[in-house]
């Protein structure tokens, strides 16, 4: 009764103030009450866990400090990089391939700020969408930086300047990762950039040097090469993307070179500085000796990522980390403090949004063992391959670079790994994921009817090659 009386006495403005005050009090009250679960970090690890907990009927809060949900992946990772890859791919297609299909486009150009805007709109739509999902699943979104005070308490330095404490039966750490810095090459996010700066450049550089031929370097290098930049890649090792199957990796390397990327292998950058608006780099052979220099407009440092646990209070609580700074967990994701759990990039395993090897570097995807791993484990294995050059759909759409490679156990024919380099690899790999999950054999895949004409027929053909030694169409 109080609220309508005050409203009647003082008019609509007071009502609005009071309603806002009560909403705030309710938020404080719900924050102060003990939650079943408090999640620190709103990336793909944390936000999915929070939603699932909400769906299971638990009371849950998710603390996120960057001002938007979705973590690295949605804000400065998977999603913006794929948006730029898509735009640059469409432009490159129009430039180099449309004429071959009889399509005339006249003077082709692009508006880079519009490309960036499209990327930003995509990101904003998705991150806002997660806020909606939080509401739907009754997850409290607490905006601020969280710090463990005990195994059941989190202190939040709110983005609005307030400090609050959340009590929880259980706490889940999902604070993700950050760029690994390269000593001597300080990142300013304008001239010497990390992936975050590379995703937000205001214009396409004339010359880009990428340090590190891993996922990020090759994705961003491809984007800017397609948009007209001269791209050089400096890699410490003698191979690109070291975790990939070596045969697939070699084919991928050749494809990237064909597209125009230039590689300097077995080389490390020891110094980088901005002089007169240009980036000057000092290079050395990774095997020692031979100092040389290189110049470019923008340099991307992409030598890996490391777990982000800064300011989280792990040390005070004695939460164990390994030598690489990753939080140690048991098979139930529990740390050495029984009420504190950890998931995602801060624990061991691949730093991938869903810890499943999905959509790889623009067009590479894999699941299970590489041939090199099968060999190292001493397994008795066999392989089968099929090139997209011999796949009718790939021929029809003019996207014939790449292959499907399958690795299976020799005696049982059981699938051990699948590797796809080529068009739509990130979508097609799920056939391999499912096959591995259910312990399928290469013959199972080979005997399964695949629609025609589809890129997926290359998977069936590679399975035929693995199970019976021969594909049909090659």
Ligand X SMILES: NC(=O)c1ccc[n+]([C@@H]2O[C@H](COP(=O)([O-])OP(=O)(O)OC[C@H]3O[C@@H](n4cnc5c(N)ncnc54)[C@H](O)[C@@H]3O)[C@@H](O)[C@H]2O)c1
Ligand Y SMILES: Cc1cc2nc3c(=O)[nH]c(=O)nc-3n(C[C@H](O)[C@H](O)[C@H](O)COP(=O)(O)OP(=O)(O)OC[C@H]3O[C@@H](n4cnc5c(N)ncnc54)[C@H](O)[C@@H]3O)c2cc1C
Question: Any known ligand binding at 132?
Answer: no
Please tell me the distance from the alpha carbon of residue 358 to that of residue 462, in angstroms, as a whole number.
Answer: 19
Q: Using the rule CB under 6 A, is 326 a contact of ligand X? A: no
The values of phi and psi at residue 444, to 5°, are -55, -45
Cβ neighbors of 264 (< 8 A, separation 6 or more) are: 232, 233, 234, 235, 283
Q: Which of residues 28-57 bind ligand Y (CB under 6 A)?
A: 40-46
Nearer to ligand X among residue 216 and residue 347 (C-beta): 216
Q: Is 168 in the site for ligand Y (CB under 6 A)?
A: no
According to the annotation, is 91 in a ligand binding site? no
211 touches ligand X by CB under 6 A: yes
Of residues 171 and 192, the one with the C-beta less far from ligand X? 192
- Burial per residue of 225-248, b for 16 or more beta-carbon CB atoms within 10 angstroms, e otherwise: bbbbbbbbbbbeeeebbeebbebb
174 binds ligand Y (CB under 6 A): yes
> In the window 333-352, what residues touch ligand X (CB under 6 A)?
350-352
Q: Which of positions 250-279 make contact with ligand X (CB under 6 A)?
A: 268-269
Binding-residue total with ligand X (CB under 6 A): 26
Specify whether 452 is catalytic: yes
Part of the chain binding ligand Y (CB under 6 A), chosen from 5-13, 322-330, 343-351, 380-388: 343-351
Q: Is 283 marked as a binding-site residue?
A: no
* Residue nearer to ligand Y on the CB measure, 185 or 463: 185
H helices of 186-338, in order, are 195-198, 215-226, 246-259, 314-317
CA distances from 191 to 173, 178, 201, 279 (A): 33, 19, 9, 7
Q: Is 282 in the site for ligand X (CB under 6 A)?
A: no
The only residue of 174, 210, 234, 279 in contact with ligand X, by rule CB under 6 A:
234
Element (DSSP H or E) covering residue 51: helix 44-55
**Quick one: the chain helix, strand, coil %, rounded to 5?**
40, 25, 35
Residue 242 touching ligand X (CB under 6 A):
yes
Nearer to ligand Y, 65 or 232 (CB): 65
Q: Does 429 bind ligand Y (CB under 6 A)?
A: no
The contact pattern for ligand Y, residues 310-329, with x = CB under 6 A and - = no contact, is: -xx-----------------
Q: Is 379 annotated as a binding residue?
A: no
Which residue's structure tokens are 């005997």?
447
Task: Give the rounded distance of the alpha carbon of 266 from its chain centre.
Answer: 26
Residue whose CB is nearest to ligand X in the complex, by number? 214
Centre a 10 Å sphere on the Cβ of residue 250 and count the other Cβ atoms it contains. 13
Length of the chain: 474
Cβ–Cβ under 8 Å, residues 445 and 437: no
Which residue's entry shows tokens 């909403």?
A: 23
- Binding-site residues for FAD, in ranges, read 82, 146, 175-177, 345, 351-354
Residues in contact with ligand Y by the rule CB under 6 A: 40-46, 63-66, 71-73, 77-78, 81, 145-146, 174-177, 195, 216, 308, 311-312, 344-345, 351-354, 358-359
- Binding-site residues for NAD(+), in ranges, read 212-219, 235, 304
């Amino acid at each position: 009764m109080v609220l309508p009386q005050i409203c009647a006495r003082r008019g609509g403005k007071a009502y609005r103030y009071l309603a806002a005050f009560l909403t705030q009090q309710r938020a404080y009250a719900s924050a102060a009450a003990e939650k079943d679960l408090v999640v620190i970090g709103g990336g793909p690890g944390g936000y999915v866990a929070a939603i699932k907990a909400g769906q299971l009927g638990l009371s849950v809060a998710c603390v996120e400090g960057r001002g938007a949900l979705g973590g690295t992946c949605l804000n400065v990772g998977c999603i913006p990089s794929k948006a730029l890859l898509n735009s640059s791919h469409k432009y490159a297609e129009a430039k180099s391939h449309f004429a071959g299909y009889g399509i005339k486009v006249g003077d082709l150009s692009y508006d880079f700020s519009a490309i960036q805007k499209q990327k930003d709109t995509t990101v904003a739509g998705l991150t806002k969408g997660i806020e909606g999902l939080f509401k739907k699943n009754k997850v409290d979104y607490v905006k601020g930086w969280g710090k463990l005070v005990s195994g059941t308490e989190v202190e939040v330095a709110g983005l609005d300047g307030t400090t609050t404490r959340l009590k929880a039966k259980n706490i889940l750490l999902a604070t993700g990762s950050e760029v690994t810095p390269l000593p001597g090459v300080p990142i300013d996010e304008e001239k010497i950039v990390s992936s975050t700066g590379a995703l937000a450049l205001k214009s396409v550089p004339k010359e880009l040097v990428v340090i590190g031929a891993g996922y990020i370097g090759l994705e961003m290098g491809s984007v800017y090469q397609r948009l007209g930049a001269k791209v050089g890649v400096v890699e410490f090792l003698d191979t690109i993307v070291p975790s990939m199957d070596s045969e697939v990796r070699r084919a991928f390397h050749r494809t990237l070179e064909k597209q125009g990327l230039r590689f300097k292998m077995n080389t490390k950058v020891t110094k980088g500085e901005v002089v007169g608006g240009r980036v000057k780099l000092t290079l050395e052979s990774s095997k020692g000796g031979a100092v040389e220099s290189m110049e470019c407009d923008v340099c991307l440092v992409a030598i890996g990522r490391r777990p982000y646990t800064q300011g989280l209070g792990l040390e005070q609580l004695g939460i164990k980390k390994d030598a690489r700074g990753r939080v140690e967990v048991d098979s139930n994701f529990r740390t050495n403090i029984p009420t504190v759990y950890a998931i995602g990039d801060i624990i061991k395993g691949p730093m991938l949004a869903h810890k499943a090897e999905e959509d790889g570097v623009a067009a590479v995807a894999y699941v299970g063992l590489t041939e090199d791993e099968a060999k190292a484990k001493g397994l008795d294995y066999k392989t089968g391959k099929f090139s997209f050059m011999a796949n009718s759909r790939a021929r029809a759409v003019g996207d014939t670079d790449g292959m499907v490679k399958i690795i299976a156990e020799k005696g049982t024919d059981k699938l051990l790994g699948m590797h796809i380099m080529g068009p739509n690899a990130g979508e097609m790999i799920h056939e391999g994921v499912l096959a591995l999950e259910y312990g399928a054999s290469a013959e199972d895949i080979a005997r399964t009817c695949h629609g025609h004409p589809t890129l997926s027929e290359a998977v069936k053909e590679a399975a035929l090659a693995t199970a019976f030694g021969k594909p049909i169409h090659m």
